[in-house]
Amino acid sequence: MYQELLRAVTNLGSPNVLLVGDFMLDMYTYGDALRISPEAPVPILRVRNTEYSCGGAGSVAVDIAALGATAFCIGIIGDDKNGRILTEKLENCGCDIGGLIVTGDRPTITKQRLIGLAQHRHQQQLFRMDHESTEPLSEKQCGQILKAYKEKLKSTDVVCLQDYNKGLLSTSMCSQMIELAKAAGKRVLVDPSSASDYSKYCGATLITPNRQETSLVVGYEIETKEDAAKAAEELSRRLNLEAVLITLDREGAYLKAGDTGELIPTRARTVYDVSGAGDMVLATLATALAADCDYKTAVQLCNITGGIEVEKFGAAPVSIAEIINEIISEHRGKSGKIQSADSLVSELELHRMQEDKIVFTNGCFDIVHKGHIEYLNFCKSKGDIVVVGLNSDRSVQEIKGPERPINNQNDRAAVLGALESVDYVAIFDEADPLNLIKKVKPDVLIKGQDWAEKGVVGQEFVESYGGKVELAPLVEGKSSSSIIDKVKTLWKKH
C-alpha cells in the first residue's frame, strides 16, 4: 500500500483548484505571560512579536499551493490593512487572487490570537478576538462573485467550497455554484459550516463534516463506526451526494463512496493544535482527486496530511516532502532495517524518488567496536541512506576460517540495525559483495583505507555510471580479530 501512496503523492502534478469561501487573516501576538494583573485575575502578556498567516479559505489555498497545485481564490475581503496583508501572503504562495472582491462595507475577517509563554513551556493560546461581518452579501457583490466564478470554472479541475457561515456561501450562492459546476462536468467538494441544515449543499460531489458537525446535522452522537456509517448513508441520500467523508479525529475517517463504505484508520498522534486540520483535509482531497486518485487513496493521503498538521502550532501547510517522509518512515517502522536483497531494491527506489544519496559498504562486523562505529559514521557523512552488506555465516567461515563468526548473522544484523548511522542491512552469501552492489547501485561505495592496495570490489562497476568510491580512515588497533585474539589469550591464562 505504501508504494501506491508514494506513487500517488509524487504524481499529483499541478492541478487548478477553484476555491470559494471565507478568506481570513490569522494574527498571532506572542508574549511572555509571567505575571497576574493586580487589576483583575488575568495574565499580563508582555508582547514580543506579531505574526500573520492565512486563515479560513486562505489556509486551504496555502495548503493547496504547498501540494503543488494552483488555487483560484474567490471571496470577499475588506479595503483595509489586514486585507492587503492577506492578499500579499496569498500571492507570495503562488495563489491566484483575481477573484477576491475588495469591499469597503465590511472588514477583512481577522482572528487575533494572544499567545503566552510561561516558565519556558510550550506556547498556549490565552484569548482570541474576531473582527468580522456575517451580514449577507449585497446583490452587486453576489454578481461579482458569480462572474469571477464563471470565468475561472472552465480552466479548473475541481471546485472547493469552504464555508464558515460568514455571509458569502448562502443557499442561493451554493445552489448556483453547484449547478454551474455540474453543468461544466466539475466535481464540487464542500467543507461545510457548523449548522443543523445542509440542504444548501444538495447536489455537490462530496462533503467533509467532522464528528461534531455530523452529529449536529443528523441529530445523534457519532460514537462508533456504525454511527458514522448510518450518518454517511443518511447525508448521501438526503443531499444527493456521490461521496461523504466524516473525519473522526484519532480514529481516522469514514468514507462512503457509492454503494460502499469503510473506516480508513490513521495512526495515533501527539496533538499539539487542531487548527487547520480540516483545511488540510480539503486541500489534500481536492489536489488528489484532481490528479485522478480514487477516493480511498485520497482519504489515506488526507489522514497523513491532517495528522502531520495537528502536530504543528497553528494552521501550517504540509509539503510533499513531509508526506513522502511520513509514508516511508511509517513503512520503515513496519518493515524494519534488515532487508533481503530484492526487497532492498524496492526500498531504495523510493529513496531515489526523493533524490537521496545512497551509500554502500560491506563487511563481517563480527564484534562491533569503536572502529566500526566511527567507520559507519563516516559512511553516513557521505550521503543520506547507508546500506550495509553483511557477510552471511557461511561466507564469514570461507573468509575467516571455521571458528568464525563469533556471533551469528542474525545477531550481527540486529546490532547493526540498532545503530543510527545504518539505514538498511542486507545479508549476502557470496565471498564478495559484487552481486549485491550491482543490485543496490550506490552513489558512493566505501571501504577502509586498508583496501587501497588490494582494490575495492565493485569499484569499476560503481564508477562506470558516475558513482564515487571513497576510503574511510581506520581507528588504529581496533579490529574484531584483535579483540578475539585478546579474549583467547586471557582465557588461556585462566
**Cell numbers linked to 421:** 548511522
Edge-to-edge order in the sheet of strand 358-363: 424-428, 385-391, 358-363, 444-448, 468-472
Q: What share of the chain is helix, strand, coil (3-state, %, to 5)?
A: 40, 25, 35
Q: How far apart are CA 192 and CA 485, in angstroms?
A: 73
**Cell numbers linked to 487:** 579474549
Q: Are 131 and 107 in contact (CB under 8 A)?
A: yes
Q: How far apart are CA 32 and CA 44, in angstroms?
A: 8
Q: Are 382 and 471 in contact (CB under 8 A)?
A: no
Q: How far apart are CA 236 and CA 102, in angstroms?
A: 36
Q: How far apart are CA 122 and CA 15, in angstroms?
A: 37
Is the bond into 402 cis (omega within 30 degrees of 0)?
no
Closest to 199 (Cα-Cα) out of 145, 232, 240, 245: 240
**Number of Cβ atoms within 10 Å of the Cβ of 320:** 16
Burial status of residue 354 (CB atoms within 10 A of its CB: 0-12, 13-18, 19 or more): middle
- Catalytic pick from 63, 279, 366, 423? 279
Angstrom distances, CA of residue 69 to CA of 17, 253, 287:
7, 24, 7
Q: Which residues of 466-488 are buried (b: 16+ CB within 10 A; e: fewer)?
A: ebbbeebeeeeeebbeeebeeee
* 388 contact partners, CB below 8 Å, separation of at least 6: 360, 361, 362, 363, 365, 376, 416, 422, 424, 425, 426
Rg of the chain over all Cα atoms, to the nearest angstrom: 29
Are β-strands 260-264 and 424-428 bridged in parallel, bridged antiparallel, or unpaired? unpaired
Q: Are 329 and 77 in contact (CB under 8 A)?
A: no
Determine whether 130 is an active site residue.
Answer: no
Element (H, E) at 139: helix 139-153
Catalytic sites, residue numbers: 279
